Chains A and B, each alone.
Chain A
Amino acid sequence: MGASNVASAMQTPEAYAEAFSGLEKEAAGRELAWLRNLREKGFARFSEVGFPTLRDEDWRFTNVAPIAQTPFRLARNGRGVPASGEIARFFMRGAACTLVFVDGRFARGLSAAGTLARGVTAASLAEALAKNPEAIEPHLGRYLNIERDAFCALNTAFIEDGAYIHLAKNVVLEAPIQLLFVSTPRDFPAVSHPRNLIVAEESSQATIVEDYVSLGGKALCNTATELVAGDNSAVAHVMIEREDAEAFNISTLRIQQGRAADVASHSVLIGGALVRNNVHPVLGGEGGECLLNGLFVGGDRQHLDNYMLVEHASPHCGSRQFYNGILAGHAHGVFHGRIIVHKDAQKTDAKQTNRNLLLSDTAQIDTKPQLEIYADDVKCTHGATIGQIEEGALFYLRSRGIDEASARRLLLMAFANECLDRMKEGPARTHVERLIHEYVAGVTGVIASEASQAAVGERS
């Protein structure tokens, strides 16, 4: 850790220290010693290391100075609750239920409770801590690594609310659960730290959608989710980040997989100014399967960073990473795919693919595979491509009467569809598909007009 880390740590924690001591006195579950302890450890770690810098290998492509230098205050103070009409458009059709969180706090009045199958709990973490802390204690904070990531440490220091999902043994939930996180505009830069816990017991099955939106304003959402996929469970997790142009979103999904557990993590990043998407599965039981499927689409000066850390800790597990990026304008994308195969994880089959389309000369992508293999009988492959929309394909479509903007849209959708096709059919996929269609249609309209203006410029 370099000196600059110390410097940024010194600037920021004062504000955070005040917020932390304030929170400690009134936070949910403050009477629970283990939880107080967890928060204190989180805060101590954050105070020690501060925000990461470009010298940190895990952050070398992402400068978080805009976050470190902004005097964020906890959004829990003086919060405003949006009207239900304001957020109705964000609801997913066909969801079993939608839990709404405003600036990280559960908003029962805005949520759609739905009817859940027996054995399914979908609740606020704060309420679960109050009513049933013994169900939470064995899991909360057990998996997320606060040592290696300052944002996880900060999130842990400010654990208060978020979603708590529990699936009892053998329960199969057909329709997805939507967790809708809404950032609201304030007259100060606001930070929220939603913390989610998803526990899928043996042989259970469900789809959980985390959906991050904002109603404007400069805000930081620093969210963390621990997903415990029990033996033989099948869990699909969908992360949608579609916040406003001013928003910062840092998310961490820590997955702990049991024996023969089958987990799919789908990430769709289409919003935000600075976005970091950490996905960290640990295949901790034999025969586990993990799919990390992602699509990130950025324009303007958006910065979209995907950090994958796949840990194979047991034999006979398979992991597949497929991330597609589309970058326009001055957008900067990052794909960092790290695979660690531990000593005993023989017969590991790990695959990683990152494909990128750059739509302008000023868009940028950094892609970095990183394999660390300590077992001797494994199969690991990785590959990355960076390209533009193929002029030949564009001409082919146009020669059939399809106008340029539509042809570009068609080609971009085809590229995005590679990711959609890896999702199972159902309401979650339809939801994501609709968002991507709308977004890509908007983006291509702008790009096509930019391109034709450029062409006119060249001719004149």
Chain B
Amino acid sequence: MSLLEIKNLHVRVDGNEILKGVNLRLNAGEVHSIMGPNGSGKSTLAQVLARRESYEVSGGEVLFNGKDLLAMKPEEAACEGLFLAFQYPVEIPGVSNAYFLRSAVNAIHKYRGEDEVDAMDFLPKLRKEMKLLEMDEKFLNRSVNEAFSGGEKKRNEILQMAALAPKLAILDETDSGLDIDALKVVAKGVNAMRSPERAFLVITHYQRLLNYIVPDYVHVLVDGRIVRSGGPELALQLEESGYANVGTASTPTRKNASGTPAAGAV
């Protein structure tokens, strides 16, 4: 069974069809990247998977761990092990990062019928992650994302991912707006989390990120459809030729592990 299976997903936003039949399958242990130009539907896909209610699913099916993801509330998806690192993390004045993280971890523990986390165990673990992400401990007492720089916000997303230990992490343009040093730190945090039990869906506009988080598969999303799939080399091709030349192939075939390019018009 795949960890995530998206079948013919159609999504509307304000009456406009943004996703026009997306098919995608992810297995545990894999890192997939979705690339695409502005407005292709990348972020819509991420938000729908994280169950944002303002997006209307007009067709298709998504199974997460065999369960109907589209029937879940955002908090249920999170508790089932889905995590979205936001493109634009939200500022929440008046709620400290430490309190927020502990509330989130406890909510997930409660859902799974586990005990609440002990502050004595939780903090040292968190500090270790923060060290890896080169975050100052002061972040714990500051309000969530308030007055954080762009790089600090993105690192905070990765910190949350580490604390929540999801089965599937979706990174929505986590690289955008980062300088190369910050990008390396974020990539280090992500790579430290790679494991045979966990999958990643890395959404990006730029190929650069994929030098640091090397994906197993690359998919190209154009105008609401995946028009090509391939290995990491596809990202490099795109970097040279641009999205305009990818074409508008319909259903791409799933690439096999040996790296045969997917079928589709070139």
Residues of A within 8 A of B (CB): 390-393, 395-404, 406-407, 410-411, 413-415, 417-418, 455
Q: Are A391 and B54 in contact (CB under 8 A)?
A: yes
Q: Are B75 and A414 in contact (CB under 8 A)?
A: no
Number of interface residues of B (CB under 8 A): 31
Q: Are A411 and B92 in contact (CB under 8 A)?
A: yes
User: Digit string of B74-104 for contact with A (CB within 8 Å is 1, else 0)?
Assistant: 1101110001101001111111000010011
Whole-angstrom CA separation of A159 from B151 in the bound complex: 63
Known: A395-B50, A401-B111, A418-B93. 4 other contacts (CB 8 A): A393-B91, A397-B104, A404-B75, A415-B94
CB distance from A61 to the nearest CB of B (A): 28
Q: Which residue of B lies closest to A413 (CB)?
A: B94
Q: Are B103 and A406 in contact (CB under 8 A)?
A: yes
* Across-interface contacts of A398 in B (CB, < 8 A): 73-75, 78
* Across-interface contacts of B160 in A (CB, < 8 A): 400
- B108 at interface by CB-CB < 8 Å: yes
Q: Which residue of A lies closest to B95 (CB)?
A: A414
Q: List 12 A-B contacts (CB under 8 A).
A: A392-B90, A396-B86, A396-B89, A397-B92, A399-B77, A400-B78, A400-B104, A401-B111, A403-B73, A406-B103, A410-B100, A415-B94
Whole-angstrom CA separation of A192 from B205 in the bound complex: 69
Q: Are B75 and A410 in contact (CB under 8 A)?
A: no
With A396-B86, A402-B104 already in contact, the answer to whether A418 and B52 are too (CB < 8 A) is no
Q: Are A395 and B94 in contact (CB under 8 A)?
A: no
Q: Are A401 and B79 in contact (CB under 8 A)?
A: yes
- B107 at interface by CB-CB < 8 Å: yes
**Residues 4-49 of B contacting A (Cβ, < 8 Å):** none
Whole-angstrom CA separation of A403 from B100 in the bound complex: 13
* Across-interface contacts of B86 in A (CB, < 8 A): 396, 399
Query: B104 contacts which of A401, A404, A417, A418 (Cβ < 8 Å)?
Result: A401
Q: Are B164 and A401 in contact (CB under 8 A)?
A: yes
Q: Are B74 and A395 in contact (CB under 8 A)?
A: yes
Q: Which residue of A lies closest to B89 (CB)?
A: A396
Q: Are B78 and A399 in contact (CB under 8 A)?
A: yes
Q: Are A396 and B90 in contact (CB under 8 A)?
A: yes
User: Digit string of B41-79 for contact with A (CB within 8 Å is 1, else 0)?
Assistant: 000000000111110000000000000000001110111
CB distance from A111 to the nearest CB of B (A): 36
Q: Are B93 and A406 in contact (CB under 8 A)?
A: no
Nearest 7 Cβ contacts at the A-B interface = A414-B94, A400-B104, A401-B78, A398-B74, A396-B90, A401-B107, A401-B108
Whole-angstrom CA separation of A397 from B97 in the bound complex: 12
Whole-angstrom CA separation of A229 from B94 in the bound complex: 32
* Across-interface contacts of B91 in A (CB, < 8 A): 393
* Across-interface contacts of A391 in B (CB, < 8 A): 54
* Across-interface contacts of A411 in B (CB, < 8 A): 92, 95
Q: Are A402 and B103 in contact (CB under 8 A)?
A: yes
* Across-interface contacts of A396 in B (CB, < 8 A): 86, 89-90, 92
Q: Are A417 and B75 in contact (CB under 8 A)?
A: no
Whole-angstrom CA separation of A406 from B160 in the bound complex: 18
CB distance from B52 to the nearest CB of A (A): 6
Q: Are A402 and B75 in contact (CB under 8 A)?
A: yes
* Across-interface contacts of A407 in B (CB, < 8 A): 75
CB distance from A81 to the nearest CB of B (A): 42
Whole-angstrom CA separation of A391 from B160 in the bound complex: 20
Q: Are A399 and B95 in contact (CB under 8 A)?
A: no
Query: B73 contacts which of A392, A404, A418 (Cβ < 8 Å)?
Result: A404
* Across-interface contacts of A417 in B (CB, < 8 A): 94
Whole-angstrom CA separation of A402 from B111 in the bound complex: 10
Q: Which residue of A lies closest to B101 (CB)?
A: A400
Query: A393 contacts which of B50, B74, B90 (Cβ < 8 Å)?
Result: B90
Q: Are B74 and A414 in contact (CB under 8 A)?
A: no
With A393-B90, A396-B86, A396-B89 already in contact, the answer to whether A403 and B95 are too (CB < 8 A) is no
CB distance from B148 to the nearest CB of A (A): 13
* Across-interface contacts of B143 in A (CB, < 8 A): 414
CB distance from A35 to the nearest CB of B (A): 48
* Across-interface contacts of B79 in A (CB, < 8 A): 401
Most buried by B among A399, A403, A407, A417: A399
Q: Which residue of B lies closest to A416 (CB)?
A: B94
* Across-interface contacts of A404 in B (CB, < 8 A): 73, 75
With A393-B90, A395-B52 already in contact, the answer to whether A406 and B107 are too (CB < 8 A) is yes
Whole-angstrom CA separation of A141 from B73 in the bound complex: 60
Q: Which residue of A lies closest to B47 (CB)?
A: A395
* Across-interface contacts of A418 in B (CB, < 8 A): 93-94
Q: Are A399 and B94 in contact (CB under 8 A)?
A: no
User: Digit string of B199-241 for contact with A (CB within 8 Å is 1, else 0)?
Assistant: 0000000000000000000000000000000000000000000
CB distance from B83 to the nearest CB of A (A): 8
Whole-angstrom CA separation of A411 from B91 in the bound complex: 11
Q: Are B75 and A403 in contact (CB under 8 A)?
A: yes
CB distance from A452 to the nearest CB of B (A): 10
Q: Which residue of B lies closest to A452 (CB)?
A: B73
Whole-angstrom CA separation of A398 from B89 in the bound complex: 13
CB distance from A98 to the nearest CB of B (A): 31
Q: Which residue of A lies closest to B92 (CB)?
A: A393
* Across-interface contacts of A410 in B (CB, < 8 A): 95, 100, 103
Q: Are B93 and A414 in contact (CB under 8 A)?
A: yes
* Across-interface contacts of B54 in A (CB, < 8 A): 391
* Across-interface contacts of A390 in B (CB, < 8 A): 90
* Across-interface contacts of B52 in A (CB, < 8 A): 395
Whole-angstrom CA separation of A434 from B166 in the bound complex: 34
Q: Which residue of A lies closest to B111 (CB)?
A: A401
* Across-interface contacts of B108 in A (CB, < 8 A): 401
User: Digit string of B139-160 for contact with A (CB within 8 Å is 1, else 0)?
Assistant: 0000100000000000000001
